[in-house]
Amino acid sequence: MAKTAVLVPGSVLKGLLDSYHIPVAKISEDIGLSPSAIRQLINNKLKISIIIALRLAKYFDKKAEYWIDLQTNHELSQLQKDSKVAASLKAIPKAKKLPAPAPKKAAKAPVAKRGPKGSAKKPGRKPVAKKAADKKPRKPRTPKAKPAASSSTPSV
């Protein structure tokens, strides 16, 4: 099976800039990235993030998925060439379908107890507070005594 060539995001960006005759400084200013970041994208030193994909998509009238797919496919092709990654993937076993667990027997629902006036009491709820007539009367608060004002008039 022949391998298909994977487009490199930086090369695609460089090709678009060349075909539109757009300098790095112009796209940098238009999409809000530094010229250095644009050069890093072109040289594949900076990955196309989702926000960058959105900006490039808007600028070149493409879908953001186009740029994200370019980056993802490029990264996958690079990882497939890595022997350490290949060895670690080879060590991972394939998932095997396990038998479904036996269904648990349904527990019987607790019978709701009826309280006053036929209302059902819910388990775990606190009892309703006593009526105001059943409560002990509270002592009224006494105002704090104010300190005596000292007279600051000089004596003659």
One digit per residue, the tens of pLDDT, for the chain of length 156 reads: 456 778 999 999 999 999 999 999 999 999 999 999 999 999 999 999 999 999 999 999 999 999 999 999 999 999 988 999 989 989 999 999 999 988 887 777 666 666 566 555 556 666 666 665 666 667 777 777 666 655 555 555
Angle, helices 24-31/50-60, rounded to nearest 10 degrees: 110
> CATH code at 53?
1.10.260.40
- Count Cβ atoms within 10 A of the Cβ of residue 23 and give its class: 0-12 exposed, 13-18 middle, 19 or more buried: exposed
What's residue 128's pLDDT?
62
Q: Does the residue 120 lie in any domain?
A: no
In this structure, which amino acid lies at residue 149? A
Contact 113, 120 (CB under 8 A): yes
pLDDT at 102: 87
Evaluate whether residue 123 is within a structural domain.
no
Would 15 be classed as within a structural domain? yes
Q: How many CA atoms lie within 13 A of 83 on its CB side?
A: 0
The CA distances from residue 116 to 119, 128, 130, 135, 143, in Å, are 6, 11, 13, 19, 42
Q: Which two tokens stand for residue 66?
A: 């186009």
- Compute the distance between CA of residue 43 and CA of residue 26 in angstroms, rounded to an integer: 18
Residue 35 domain boundaries: 9-84
Identify the pLDDT of residue 26: 97
Q: Are 10 and 37 in contact (CB under 8 A)?
A: no
112 domain residue, yes or no: no
In this predicted structure, what is the pLDDT of residue 1?
41
The verdict on residue 63 lying in a domain is yes
Q: Is 60 exposed, middle or buried (CB count within 10 Å of its CB: 0-12, 13-18, 19+)?
A: middle
Residue 122 lies in a domain: no
140 occurs within a structural domain: no
In a domain, 22, yes or no: yes
- What is the count of structural domains for the chain? 1
